[in-house]
Structure 1
Amino acid sequence: MQLKPNAYRLNETVKGVETMTRFALAVLALASGVYTYLGVRGLLDGSASFVFFAAIIYSAAVSVAIYAFWSFMLRFVPLVTSGVQRVGLFVTMAIGCVMIMAMSSWLNAAALAGSAATEQHMAVTLQGYAEDLDQAHSNALAAQSLLPDVQRAAERFAGLAADERESGALTGTTGSGSVVQLLTQMGTQMNQLAATITGSRDEVALQFEQGSARLATMRELVSTPGAVEPRADSFQTEAVQLSAIIAALQQTGVAASVKRASADLSAGFIAPVADGGSADLANRQDQVMETVRASVAAQSAALSTAADEILATPAVEQRRFVPLSSAEAVLRYWQDFIPSWAGAISIDLLPVVLVLVLMIVNDAMRQESESLEAAENITAAEMLRAMALFRQMEAAGIDVASGQPRPLVVPEPQPTAEPAPAQPAETAATATETPASEAVVTPIDAAQRTRARGDGPRPA
């Protein structure tokens, strides 16, 4: 190929960087193999020797495959000029890139960001457990909102009983009769219900304190530097204990107990028999007890409705911590580790840039050069045969360029020579008087005279 100056410089530069290209490709393949080894080692189970040799073999296979694939692409893609063939090579290169990412890139990412991804998984799980503990604590304390209503009802019944005993505010007759006994009974039941709600508060606080301590330990495990595997095991143990505390908190809630107690107020209402000395007093006592029954029924309905609202709150679902390998964690939380993924993929696919550069440079050299590919590859024997054929074609009267016989050229008739004009007398005399020694003798005439005399060499 006859190269122009610029194309010649490009060709020389490509030859100059060929060694550097091979060296760079080898280094990239080796780096990918090393990180693949680190990534695949965390996925294998078995003895230490088995894991070591299996990871070494896999990483070596990956390095050889990457080096061989990109060597083929660097060799062939720049030389192909046909559009269809080049598209086919590009499709092949795309398939190879996908296969390289499938067998190496995600393991490289696991090696680069595996520990951080595992810690991310632990942190996300910790946040979920913290939310579950808060929700269970809130559900357990929701029944505490009923305590003011229960205490107020108990105080109201106790106050009515005192008023009836001292001034006969309800029946018009002082003393401790059936009405006072009923009101005192309702007040006592309300105080018992209030005591139940209040007693659960201490137990809820204790369990929440234990859960908070477990969360603090889990936070330390997430943030403590060092190997992530033992920390993940300890984290899982703490997560199990915390799940038990959350379940206990949900069982500590007294909303269901308040609902049952409020239903018993109305369903289990037992009114004493009127004990008035006169029929009029007995009648008044019966009327007051009916009023108390209606009041108790209304209070029971209100407490039941409030308890139903608390019970309608969704219960906390049991959460379970599932340990993940570094590779699985990188795949699950890939959005948080995009820079690591970019570096892992770039190690494997950086030769794409080299392939494109060589393709562009070779296209530029082809555009700036004159095509003499046959002359670049001809041998000496082929050159001699071509020259002999050329002479034969010339002798046979064949046009070399077209390969057709040359047309015969008929010579044009020469005009008849006219007699020479008479020379002047002086010229003729001069020519006659010229001595023989001054006559011009050509080499051909000298040779002919020599042969005529027989002095020269005779032909064999």
Structure 2
Amino acid sequence: MAQSHSYTLRGQLSRLDLMTRMTLAILATGSGVFTYIGVRDLIDGSPTTILVGAVIYSVAVSVAIYAFWSYLMRIMPHVRDRGGRAMFYLAMAIGMVMIMAMSAWLNAAALAGGAALEQHLSVATEDYQGRLNEAHENALAAQSLIPDIQLASQRFSRLADEERSSGALTGTSGSGTVVQLLSQMSRQLDGLAAEIDASRARVADLFEESGVRLNAMRGLVAGEGPVAERSTAFAVEATALSGLIASLQQTSVAPAVRRAAEDLGRSFIAPVAGGLAEDLRARQSEVLGRVEAAVQQQSAALAQAADEILARPAVETVRFTPLSKPDAVIRYAGDFLPSWAGAISIDLMPAVLVLILCFTQDQIRREEGDEMEVGDMSAAEMMRALRIQKRLRAEAGEDELPRLAPADDIVQHNEPGAPAPFPLRQGSGHS
């Protein structure tokens, strides 16, 4: 019963031999086609050079894959020694790595190269968006100082008005030294606030132009047409946007505010009290001292606020790096795992067939025994063996050689339904 089962396995292997060859040829051809598509983006030169180089490389890959798996399918199932089988497994592992190195990544580029390039453009767009927002925030950071500066200016202006109308500080109304100094401080602060506010328009123009460039980049990412051409146009827009981001960083007035704050405290010179009476001059000097202290305090506060703005990290210059399809597939491999799986499977699928053949051959050996290995002969091989036997008997004599049953006797003993003593197979294909 076991022997009959082994004959069935041999018969099935014989029937599947053609299918196995066709499957291997189709897989090798398919891998070669995808390799051709992927390798075209890596070859530089004229169209003829690219075509010839890609064809030669893809044909070489197809032949290598077909030959590699054919060798394993023909030889490996018949190796019984454990050490020999282990060496074949090692050779198969090395060959699989080499196939992935020369073909699988190019297959992945053919399957997902365009999508990977679009992914690269999308990631670059988001990077530019983040850098633009950061530069815009830094440029507008000084605008947050305007309310504090205006409050300080209004305080000085209000004190000047109160001193002018009612003498709230010195006890004597009129436009004297104190009023002039307070009005002067108010005007300086108003001038600084106006300078900061004037930069807002420049920042707004740059940000608006940057938004136009950014929208154009998004349109190229989601657009139609060859992705290589869109990538070239994207690089042009990205270069222009990088310049706008750099200009935004230069429009920050925080350094000017820092210098103005220092000048406000350093350049303060209290005027000489101009009152006619000694008592009035003393009161004026006292008020001027308080005003000077207030100016110094305001100067320190503005300088500290400007320092906090200047302490922000500068936005690094963004540089867009174009990629080829194979490079993009490798860089964003984690986003295209199904494509990588398909690209690798088309090259390594024959490994499963090799293992199936090995397992089947091992099962046949276990059921038939080692002595049945010699019985795996075709009819032509058996007839040739009988002719050799007759020639040797004629040369050496009947008594020197054991007599083999004639072919007719073998056929006669092979009754219908009974297994043949020697399994006959058609042709010379592998078992």
Shorter-chain TM-score tier: 0.7 to 0.9
Superposed CA offset, 1:373-410 (max 9, x none): 45667833447469623789xxxxxxxxxxxxxxxxxx
Superposed CA offset, 1:180-210 (max 9, x none): 1100000000100111111111221111111
Superposed CA offset, 1:199-225 (max 9, x none): 111221111111111110000000002
Aligned-partner Cα distance in 2 for 1:375–1:225: 65
Superposed CA offset, 1:33-87 (max 9, x none): 1111100101111100010001000101000000000000101111111111000
Superposed CA offset, 1:258-292 (max 9, x none): 11111111001122221111222112111111110
Aligned-partner Cα distance in 1 for 2:225–2:340: 23
List aligned pairs for 1:37-52, cutoff 5 A. Answer: 37-52=36-51
Give the direction of change, closer, same or farther, for the CA distance of 1:75–1:390 in structure 2 (3 Å limit). Answer: closer
Partner of 2:428: none
RMSD: 1.8
Partner of 2:400: 389
List aligned pairs for 1:103-122, cutoff 5 A. Answer: 103-122=102-121
Partner of 2:60: 61
Aligned-partner Cα distance in 1 for 2:61–2:10: 32
1:341 is the counterpart of 2:340: yes
Give the match's secondary structure for 1:224.
Answer: coil
Partner of 2:251: 252
Give the match's secondary structure for 1:4.
Answer: helix
Give the match's secondary structure for 1:321.
Answer: coil
Return the offset for 1:257: 1.1
List aligned pairs for 1:226-375, cutoff 5 A. Answer: 226-370=225-369, 371-374=371-374
Give, as a single letter, the amino acid of the residue that structure 2 aligns with 1:249. L
Return the offset for 1:142: 1.0
Aligned-partner Cα distance in 2 for 1:296–1:131: 39
Partner of 2:195: 196
Return the offset for 1:127: 0.2
Partner of 1:450: none
Give, as a single letter, the amino acid of the residue that structure 1 aligns with 2:400. L
Superposed CA offset, 1:343-400 (max 9, x none): 00011000001000111111111111142445667833447469623789xxxxxxxx
Aligned residues: 391
1:12 is the counterpart of 2:23: no
List aligned pairs for 1:171-190, cutoff 5 A. Answer: 171-190=170-189
1:79 is the counterpart of 2:78: yes
Which one has a bigger Cα radius of gyration? 1
Give, as a single letter, the amino acid of the residue that structure 2 aligns with 1:389. E
Structure-2-length-normalised TM-score: 0.88
Give the direction of change, closer, same or farther, for the CA distance of 1:219–1:374 in structure 2 (3 Å limit). Answer: closer
Percent pairwise identity = 53
Partner of 1:396: none
Aligned-partner Cα distance in 2 for 1:313–1:97: 52
Give the direction of change, closer, same or farther, for the CA distance of 1:358–1:277 in structure 2 (3 Å limit). Answer: same
Superposed CA offset, 1:78-116 (max 9, x none): 111111100000000000000000000000111111111
Aligned-partner Cα distance in 1 for 2:357–2:161: 104
Aligned-partner Cα distance in 2 for 1:133–1:386: 102
Aligned-partner Cα distance in 2 for 1:263–1:168: 30
Structure-1-length-normalised TM-score: 0.82
Give the match's secondary structure for 1:40.
Answer: helix
Return the offset for 1:141: 1.2
Aligned-partner Cα distance in 2 for 1:41–1:386: 71
Superposed CA offset, 1:100-140 (max 9, x none): 00000000111111111111011000000000011111111
Return the offset for 1:3: 7.8
Give the match's secondary structure for 1:217.
Answer: helix
1:145 is the counterpart of 2:149: no
Give, as a single letter, the amino acid of the residue that structure 1 aligns with 2:54. A
Partner of 2:419: none
Aligned-partner Cα distance in 1 for 2:402–2:220: 94
Give the direction of change, closer, same or farther, for the CA distance of 1:391–1:148 in structure 2 (3 Å limit). Answer: closer
Give the match's secondary structure for 1:322.
Answer: coil
Superposed CA offset, 1:151-174 (max 9, x none): 000000000111111111111111
Give, as a single letter, the amino acid of the residue that structure 1 aligns with 2:169. L
Give the direction of change, closer, same or farther, for the CA distance of 1:188–1:304 in structure 2 (3 Å limit). Answer: same
List aligned pairs for 1:397-412, cutoff 5 A. Answer: none
Give, as a single letter, the amino acid of the residue that structure 2 aligns with 1:186. M
Give the direction of change, closer, same or farther, for the CA distance of 1:386–1:92 in structure 2 (3 Å limit). Answer: farther
Give, as a single letter, the amino acid of the residue that structure 2 aligns with 1:112. L
Aligned-partner Cα distance in 2 for 1:358–1:374: 19
Partner of 1:214: 213
Aligned-partner Cα distance in 2 for 1:274–1:391: 145
Return the offset for 1:311: 0.9
